[in-house]
Structure 1
């Protein structure tokens, strides 16, 4: 579908059709992204529970770094989609080039810095010797993935802003297939262990990065990168940062919160940490519909606000809430009924009965709160698409620091439940955060578009 067709569909088409058309490729794309970690987890599980725990243990650190790149590209999606909606393609091109330049610089700096301080980070998180060794190997290699990962984020942001969710999906399919092929080769055949899992993930992006850059420059009939727009412009970068910094703070705060959360979980032992890691990957698959709808909604909200169609933006929100809730009620019911069978797929060792027991319980508890996460993702997509990222920051970081972590501490001191206090706190904090988000939405302040005419081309 070309640029003009997608713009017309988003601005004038049947809203349920629009959401499904844009979100289905995103759902599949998110599934493919999950395959990276699921493939790692499956093959790493052949090595042992400590290795599985290590990949989950360092995830918040990686997400903390990735969140910086995501904040820039989310700002780009918001701005570009609103420029597309207002039919100002040249400013969309300028914004695309600027987020590309900023992301390249940040990716290189963060990659080198992260690699150098990896051992200190892992030690700070309180890992024991076995967890420290494996986590350090995995994380130090994964930091080389950051520059290419940022370029992939830029590509996805630009294409999704104009309503093309298919191209990012196809690119990630190619990367996932490469990763799935390389995982067993590096991990087992070449006996590289957990380092092989990280290397497979890195190479699966490095191979396709030149092609991504080529696509961003070549397609002149779409939003694309003009070489003469690559030089950083203070006003444009300032606008990107004004939208992106709250997202960065929110996601970074969330990542730091998950680092603290992981420390709580790790205190219950490696079996609990491994169960949480496995359960999260399974849960992320069930969450695909809500994640896809939330991502697609951002560009729909952005383009309609850019076109001064506020009523249609509200219609998009209500339709997204309905669709995501229905899908996650079904997914949650399936997960609750078959939690034991699902968890055993990723724990082939019958000796790891502790991981199986913990994982089954975690999946059953968390499945009850899945509809909350659907509403959460729709609210985040709405606030990010409108460019009012302060609201998404409040929801993202607030649910951990102001609700979940204090709740865990209170439960730990007042009850003898053990690790389940973490799972219960997760559900309750998600529910409270959704209520806060709906109250913010009802004020209508998110409806003001953020694009202005002050940016000179």
Structure 2
């Protein structure tokens, strides 16, 4: 109880409006990276244990299913972004009562919207998988995987929103615990269900389901018991807060769906080259978040820090947050590229990848991974747009990236260079949009800064 009181007193004021911004960015990113990379490692362990079964159809099935899970998870991320965009400025302006009210209403709206989305996706599972190119036994396996996991989207979304509230208040450690606990549970249960009991895909599904329950529970504990940032639900205040929440959540969800749609298109394009290519794409999809987990965490850090300084009317610090975040992201990308290039062959061998899948994994690690810097730029700028009330800018940027910046490049790459061309086209198409994001981000911060100085 004493620890709880200390935490509450320490977080009475906004943390990010004073002190070194770089220190805030690095400390928040480090904690966030541990939590995110843990859950990504859990996903990687999931597919690793399944790959050891020597059945390429199972790995390909997870690849197809992951495209749809990515889509559903993106909805939860968008809802969590809306929570951060409202709660962090309220805390920065020292309006704690309002922050508590926004927190409970954000959780209620998150549950409602994610429940509706999960029902809609659940009924469309088989048509979506067929649209992505899944057939035969691979289609049946992927369908089973999704039928069980898609209904758990509300649980995962609530956990994400709780983690967003914890980041908004500056408690990066407990926000990390939300995902870290889920990852630990997922990995341990994978060992028990897949390796020990030999349940295969069924074991993977069960471990993921239980991990999502843990994520929600740990998130609620941090928000309610530690920070007392969950007000009493009231229909009247819910009606008041729903419009501003939806104004951010709608574009934010559309923004996060865009990469999922682009990912689905790439899955469709690469399915033309067989289960081996899809399996390689599934493995790459698990390697990438682990390698670049710090960048994903950094993009989640920008919103709370920028939001508190926006609420405190500090335009110069807002611009510095963006600059330092971009530089930090570039450094993280360079380090990740170096590591991937060095371990490319052993990494491919770890998953018992066949010759074709191995070549694709190595090609990505050595030659395409540095282009992730442009995707990282888009992620960080998304946080700027969402926090400063221009979520629709993020929507336009991300859908442009997912369509104009993906489809023609993937088509041309596949036509001339096969599966390798599909992967290369996807990464090359993001270069222009990364550069556009930098320019647009600075312009928006300067424009908002001018209004704050009036």
Fold shared, TM-score > 0.5 on shorter chain: yes
Look up the match of 2:452.
none
Which residues of structure 1 form unaligned runs of 5+? 450-457
Q: Give secondary structure in 2 for the equivalent of 1:444.
A: helix
Equivalent residue number for residue 421 of structure 1 = 421
Render the CA deviation track for 1:231-274: whole Å, top value 9, x for unaligned.
Answer: 66223101001011111112223322221211001111111111
Alignment partner, residue 387 of structure 1 = 389
* Partner Cα distance (1:253, 1:331) in 2: 25
Structure 2 Cα separation of the partners of residues 208 and 9 of structure 1: 25
Matching residue of 1:454: none
Structure-1 residue corresponding to 2:437 = 437
Once residues 284 and 70 of structure 2 are traced to their aligned partners in structure 1, the CA distance between those partners, rounded to angstroms, is: 18
| 1:383 CA drift (Å) | 2.0
Deviations 1:34-79 (A, max 9, x none): 0221111111112322211211212221122222222222011011
**Residues 1:335 and 2:340 are matched in the alignment:** yes
Out of 194, 197, 208, the residue aligned to residue 190 of structure 1 is 197
State the match for 1:239 in structure 2. Answer: 244
Task: Tell me what 1:104 maps to.
Answer: 111
* Partner Cα distance (2:305, 2:432) in 1: 26
Q: CA deviation at 1:286?
A: 1.7
Check the 8 A contact 2:181/2:214 in 1, yes or no.
no
- The equivalent position to 2:17 in structure 1, one of 11, 23, 26, is 11
Per-residue CA distance 1:168-203 (angstroms, 9 max, x = gap) = 212322222221121132224434321220111111
Whole-angstrom distance in 1 between the partners of 2:442 and 2:221: 43
User: 1:86 maps to which residue?
Assistant: 93
Cα distance in 2 between the residues matched to 1:203 and 1:282: 23
- Separation in structure 2 between the aligned mates of residue 424 and residue 206 of structure 1, nearest angstrom: 37
Q: Which of 132, 135, 141 is residue 134 of structure 1 equivalent to?
A: 141
| Off by >6 Å, runs of 4+ in structure 1 | none
Contact 1:293-1:320 within 8 A present in 2 as well: yes
Equivalence for 1:317: 322
- Aligned residue runs from structure 1 range 9-158, under 5 A: 9-47=15-53, 48-158=55-165
1:101 Cα shift? 0.6
Distance 1:387 1:29, change over 3 A: farther
Q: Within 1, Cα distance between the matches of 2:241 and 2:447?
A: 22
Q: 1:293 aligns with which of 298, 301, 310?
A: 298
Gapped regions of structure 2 (runs ≥ 5): 1-5, 450-454
Q: Quote the Cα distance in structure 2 between the aligned partners of 1:15 and 1:4.
A: 22
Q: Tell me which residue corresponds to 2:3.
A: none
Structure 2 distance, partners of 1:439, 1:209, is 37
Counterpart of 1:448 in structure 2 is 448
Q: TM-score, normalised by structure 2?
A: 0.91
CA distance in 1, matches of 2:447, 2:168: 18
Cα 1:445–1:317 shift into 2, 3 Å: closer
Cα shift at 1:405: 0.9
Please give the alpha-carbon distance, in whole angstroms, between the structure 2 residues aligned to 1:368 and 1:228: 46
Moved more, 374-383 or 245-254: 374-383
State the SS of the aligned residue for 1:227: coil
Alignment of 1:155-304 (within 5 A): 155-207=162-214, 209-210=216-217, 212-219=219-226, 222=227, 224-229=229-234, 233-304=238-309
* Root-mean-square deviation over aligned CA pairs: 2.2
SS in 2 for 1:19: helix
Q: Secondary structure at the match of 2:406?
A: helix
TM-score scaled by structure 1? 0.91
**Aligned residues of 2:374 and 2:435 also touching (Cα < 8 A):** no
The 1:22/1:120 distance shift into structure 2, 3 A limit, reads same
Aligned equivalent of 1:455: none
Separation in 1 of the partners of 2:248 and 2:218? 29
SS of the residue 1:402 aligns to: coil
**Once the 2 structures are TM-superposed, how far is the Cα of residue 210 of structure 1 from its aligned partner?**
4.2
Aligned residues: 443
CA distance in 1, matches of 2:386, 2:341: 31
Distance across 2 between alignment mates of 1:285 and 1:163: 24
Q: Are the aligned partners of 2:326 and 2:380 in contact in 1 as well (CA < 8 Å)?
A: yes
> Aligned in 2, Cα 1:153/1:182: closer, same or farther, shift over 3 Å?
same
CA contact 2:80–2:160 (8 Å) conserved in 1: yes
Q: Give the Cα–Cα distance (whole angstroms) in 2 for the partners of residues 438 and 163 of structure 1.
A: 26
Distance 1:334 1:193 in 2: 31
Report which stretch shifted further, 436-445 or 324-333: 436-445
For residue 394 of structure 1, report the CA deviation from its aligned partner.
2.1
